[in-house]
Each structure stands twice: as C-alpha cells, then as structure tokens.
A and B are shown apart, each in its own frame.
Chain A
Amino acid sequence: MTQVDQVKFSHQEHSSVVRERTDKTFLQAITPVVEDAIHSSVAKNPTPLADALFPVMGPAIRKAISDALRKMILSINQTLEHSFSLKAVKWRMQALITGKPYAEIVLLQNLAYQIRHLFLIHRETGLLLQHVSMFEDDSEKDSDMVSGMMKAVQDFVQDSFQLEQTDQLGTIQVGDLNLWVESGPQALLVAVVTGVPPPRIRDEMIVTLERIHGKYARELTSFQGDAGVFAPVEEELLHCCEREGITGKKKKRSFAGLILLALAFLVSGYFIVRATDRNIRWNRFMTELKALPGIIVTDHWKKGQSRFVEGLRDPLSQDPAPLLERHRIHPDRVTFRWERYLAQHEPFVQQRTIELLDPPPTVSLRISNDTLYASGKASAQWIGNARERLKGFWSVGFFNTDHLINENWVLMLGLVDWIEAEQLLFPVGQTQLPVGQIRQADRLTGMVRDLLNQTSALGQSIIVVIQGMADSTGDFPGNRRISQQRAQHVADRMIRAGLPEEVFVVKGIEKEEDVIDAKRTVTVKIERKEEK
C-alpha cells in the first residue's frame, strides 16, 4: 500500500468513523424528540398513527394469532381422529381414497357457502367505491342503495348503543344470508355470504382491505365522490374471492330423496288440510247451530272420530240434521243429547198459543213482548175459553182484545137497541105502573135477562141503568122524588123477576132543566162495565 493510499484509507476510515460517530450522535439527539412526538401524537389523537401503521401491523398481528390457532386446531384434529360415527367412517374412507388429512375432509363436508357480493364502501360518506357480484342473476342496480343503507345501519347501531368509533358492527345475519363487515380506517368491506362460511373468509377480507388501504391511501382520504379511481380494486376483490374458491359448493341432494321428501310433504299436507277443513266445517256448523232459535248448546266435545253435542232443545225448533248435511258432516259421527224445554222465542210462543187456543180462521194472533194481540172476529164463547186457557199459560202475560170483534156483541147490539128503545109510561102523579104497561114491563125484563145471560157467558159485565122521569107539574123536589120512585118501582119488579140486584143503577131526574113536559116515563140504558 502506498502512502497516499494509506492516507486515503486512513482518511476514509476516519471519515466513516466520524460519520458513524456523528450518526450515533444525531440518532441520540433525535430519538427523544421522535419519541416525544409519537407520544404526544398518540396522546392527542391515536388515529393517524394507527391508520399509518394499519397496513403493516395487521399482517404481523394476524400471523402471530394464526400460529396460535394452528396449534389449537392440531389438538382439535387429534380429538376428531378418535371420534367415531357412521358419517365419520364415510369421511375416513374419503380421506383414505383422496390421501387428504381427515380434518380437511370434515371441514369440506361442513362448509357449504357462497360469497354473493363484495362491497367496498367509503367509511365517511357511505358511498360505494366498488362492487363485485359473483352471480349474474343478482341485480346490481341497487348496490349504491345497499352500501348507503349498510353504512346507515352501522351508524344506527353505533348511535343507538353509544358505541365507540372503533366498535363496528361486524355481522348481520338474516336467515341463510350473512353480511360480514370488516372496517378499515377509510373504508368498509362487506361480504354477502349465503350458507355457513368458514371464518377464514374474514381473514381474506382483512388482508384485502389492508392491501386496498395501502395502495389507495391518498385516494381514500381525499375522496370527493368520484368512484372511478377505484375501478382497479375490482381485480383485488375478485382475487379475494378466487383465493377463497368462492364459486362455492352446492349441496348435492339426492333426487330420490327429494321425491320422497315431496311425497311426505304432500301426504302430511293432505291430512293437515283435511283435518283443518273438517275443523273449519265443524266450527261453522256449531256457529249456525248455536244461532238456531230454540236450541241452547251447553256442551260439546270430541271423542275419537265422534262428536257429542249436549243442550236444550224446544220441540218446535229446527231439526239440526239438514244443517249437518249442508256442512258435509256425516250424521253418524255426531250424537245429540237434547233436554226438552220451551223457548221464549216469539214465533214459538205464537205457534204454541195457536195450538192451545185453536182460533177460528177469522182470528189472527200475534205475540209481542209477553202480550198476545188478537184481532178479527170471534164468538163470545171462544173469547171466554181463550181467556180461561191463557191463565195457565205462562208465556203470555196479557191478552189484548182491543181489535177483536165479539160476534155476540154484534148480535147483542141489536138487543141493546131494543131494550133502550122501550119506554114505560106512568099516569100523572103516579109511581106505580098502570095495568096497561105491565105486559110491556115484563117484555123489557125478559130482554134484560137475555142480555145478562149472554154477557156473563162472555165473561163480561154490564150495568143496567133504570132512568125515571117526571113532568113539569108541581115543584122540582117533588118531581125528583117521583122520578126516583118510578125507576125504583121498575127495578124492583125486575129484581123480583130474578134478575141480579147488583147490575141495577137507579136514577131519577137530578136537575130542574132535565124535567121535560109530559114525560112521565121509565127507560133502560145499558152500559158496558169496563174490565180492569
């Protein structure tokens, strides 16, 4: 080595030593500053630093965890190796034939799933950045809406349960559909998976999300609504699916099994429908039966195929047999046990009243509330009998005959006219009937007797008013006395002839104005005694 070289070397050596020294000093100098800066940055807001480290930290942490998990799976594997079942035998055979580990076969058999969609969503705005769909039949047109609502649901959960920003909704499960959400600082990745997805899909999602965050950090932060820049992400998402072999596995179902299943379904369906139909018909029948007048169902039950109905039935009520037929219920399957009773149903009461009273065709009967209204024309005898019979008939409280014309009354009206036309004449100042009037007085007595006989046969009462009169000769008190004595004289004669005393009312003149010249008479007036 020349001197120059030596010098050069030593200079180089020296400068490198110097640089080394300076580097060390520089490092020592800035280390506390950087540490402080990191500390203060984390203390102020840990998010920027965490965001920056996210693409680096994620894989490292995951590797450590997956190592731990692998060890755990090994022990599960051993447990599986020792388990035994019919299915396990089949799987062991498969493992033997294919030469794959038994645990892998078990996993494959248990996992049947399909990833249908992947959505990449901008975290702050909820706008869709990219979407891939594995199935053409799934409509894509609403992917923007889906991603918007996805984000809204996330926000809703966070708001409703007052969660931290870092706590995100991870899974939504609806029936067979799973929505798996992985959140990065700037974007969400949502996978729509049907079936039972293996947890490793989540790992793939996280890896993909981290890669996207790494590649598109600037675009994500400054996103202004133009999703076009994320077009290449489609490859990334598709790739994620491919690594998962995501076309999925379709469960094979045996054709014969399907037919059997369908048959079993049809047969059981038939019986269910039949039983339901039978019940519906029975319920309808019972509803109609209960609505029938004169039938009270107190109990009904089912024993095997037979049904029993217990209750009260009015003999006049409708026979339930045709009702059974109408509801297509076999009469042999139903046993009725009826107690007789008399229903207060008005048409029934009316019918029973008609049977009881046997009215002539000229009479019509009507029941309303508990009053029997009779109208038309009937003989006095029928009316009397009816009144008598109704006394023991508790369905009818009152018997209204206001509109019933008594045929006998019609006849009697003629008799009353005769009686009231008769005048017995007295000589001046006399209170005894002269001989010439005796015959006429006896005829009048006979007519009154007939009338009384007829009315009592009808159960009706009359009052026989005997009216005495006097002429204007003499003073009024004298005339009044004479008129009363004349009337009394005629009444006495009638009573003596056997007529009942209580029907007579004897009247003389009461006022001076009633005195009429040359009117020395006794007349009879018939009044109907009002029944209470």
Chain B
Amino acid sequence: MIKKKVSLIGAYAVGKTSLVRQFVYSQFSEKYLTTIGVKVDKKVVTVDDRDLMLMIWDIQGKDYFLDVPKQYIKGSAGFLLVMDGTRPETFSVAESLCQTTQELLGEVPFIALINKADLLQDWQIPHITIETLQNRGWHVLLTSARTGENVEEAFSVLAKKMML
C-alpha cells in the first residue's frame, strides 16, 4: 500500500485537530485542547480503486509565541492549510505559512480550508476574500469539523492530487 505523509498547518485554534478527529473518528468535541508539538493519526482512503494510507500530522498551530517547526512539515507529500472564517487574522497567518511550507517542500499539492462553516453567520471575512484566494490558484473548501461538512472531501481531494 502506498503511504503518504500529510500535514495540517494553520494558526492556532482554527480547528486542525477537530478536522482530523472528524475525518478519522467521525467525532467532534466542543472542548478546545491546544496541540503541543504534533499528533500523528492514520487513515486509509481509496483513490481510483487504490488504497492509500494517509499518515496525518496534526501540527501545533502558529500563535504569537509558538512557531510551526519546519521539522514537522518536512517529508509531507501534501498539506491542508486551515483558516478560521470567524477570525480574519488566521488568513494572513495561513498565507505566510503557505509560503514557508512551499519553500520547504517545493510544489506539493495543498487544499485551503476555511473552517467553522457551521458558524457562517459569525464569519468576519468579505466574500471577495475567498475569490481572491481562488484567483491565486488555491483550491478552497469551506469546512465544518462540527457538522463534518466537506471534511471527507478535503482529504480525498488532497489524496487524489497527491497520487497524480
């Protein structure tokens, strides 16, 4: 079976761990536990009738004090760049993280996820922002770790891109 390392990257508290939890265990918890370092999970997905094992590295979010260690990102065959629709500052964090990651990994596939779609009424970003990201060539998905919206989709689209 082919195995690929996938990283989740983004600002703190955007819902990276919750996305992985939803994807791997179909669970969601309201509790917020900050990730220190990294947590590795595994899930097998099927791409064009072929099994692919995703080793998912849920990496600590970037905040004022904590950077995202490059060490963790190394060796990723693709990554999910996670933002929080209710917090506009997570978009600029994502942009700079995306740049660092691409410098480190080269042109690997990634999907940009705007998480917390269940709180759409609280979103703080103008609709134009999403279009701007798409115009840049980013594959953007609106996800919700709570309802599971587009979570499966996000991982399977990334898996497909990595197998090309």
Contact = CB atoms under 8 A, between A and B. Distances in A.
A156 B37 contact: yes
A127 B71 CA distance: 14
B77 to A, nearest CB: 6
A158 interface: yes
With most chain A CB atoms within 10 A of its CB, the pick from B71, B72, B77 is B71
A144 B75 contact: no
Nearest to B5: A125
A145 B38 contact: no
A148 B37 CA distance: 13
A228 B2 CA distance: 8
A156 B38 contact: yes
A225 B72 contact: no
Interface in B4-48: 4-5, 37-42
A105 to B, nearest CB: 44
A227 B40 contact: no
Interface residues of B, number: 21
A145 B74 contact: no
Contacts of B53: 144
Interface residues of A, number: 23
A124 interface: yes
A128 B42 CA distance: 12
B37 to A, nearest CB: 4
B71 A144 contact: no
A242 B38 CA distance: 35
Interface in A159-205: 159-160
B3 A159 contact: no
B69 A148 contact: no
A152 interface: yes
Contacts of B75: 122, 124-127
A152 B75 CA distance: 12
B55 interface: yes
Contacts of A152: 37-40, 57, 72
Contacts of A227: 1, 3
B143 interface: no
Nearest to B38: A152
B101 interface: no
Nearest to A227: B3
A226 interface: yes
B76 interface: yes
Contacts of B1: 227-228
A160 B53 CA distance: 29
Interface string A226-251: 11100000000000000000000000
Contact of A126 (B2, B37, B40, B41): B40
Contacts of B41: 145
A227 B41 CA distance: 18
Contacts of B77: 125, 224-225
B69 A128 contact: no
A36 to B, nearest CB: 31
A149 interface: yes
Interface string A252-273: 0000000000000000000000
A314 interface: no
Interface string A125-166: 111100000000000001011001101100110111000000
Interface string B63-107: 000000101101111000000000000000000000000000000
Nearest to A165: B71
Contact of A155 (B2, B38, B76): B38
Contacts of B4: 127, 225
A159 B55 contact: no
B72 A148 contact: no
Contacts of A148: 5, 40, 42, 55, 57
Contacts of A156: 37-38
A417 B5 CA distance: 110
Contacts of B42: 142, 144-145, 148
Contacts of A158: 71
Contacts of A160: 37
B134 to A, nearest CB: 29
A145 B69 contact: no
B59 to A, nearest CB: 9
A127 B40 contact: no
Given A125-B5, A127-B55, A159 B69 contact: yes
A225 B71 contact: no
Given A144-B53, A152-B40, A127 B3 contact: yes
Contacts of A128: 3
Contacts of B40: 126, 145, 148-149, 151-152
B71 A155 contact: yes
12 contacts: A124-B74, A125-B55, A127-B4, A144-B55, A148-B40, A148-B57, A149-B40, A156-B37, A158-B71, A160-B37, A224-B2, A228-B1
Given A152-B39, A225-B4, A226-B3, 15 more contacts: A122-B75, A124-B75, A125-B3, A125-B74, A126-B40, A127-B3, A127-B4, A142-B42, A144-B3, A148-B40, A148-B42, A148-B57, A155-B38, A155-B69, A227-B1
Top 7 A-B pairs, shortest CB-CB distance: A125-B75, A148-B40, A124-B75, A159-B69, A155-B71, A156-B37, A125-B5
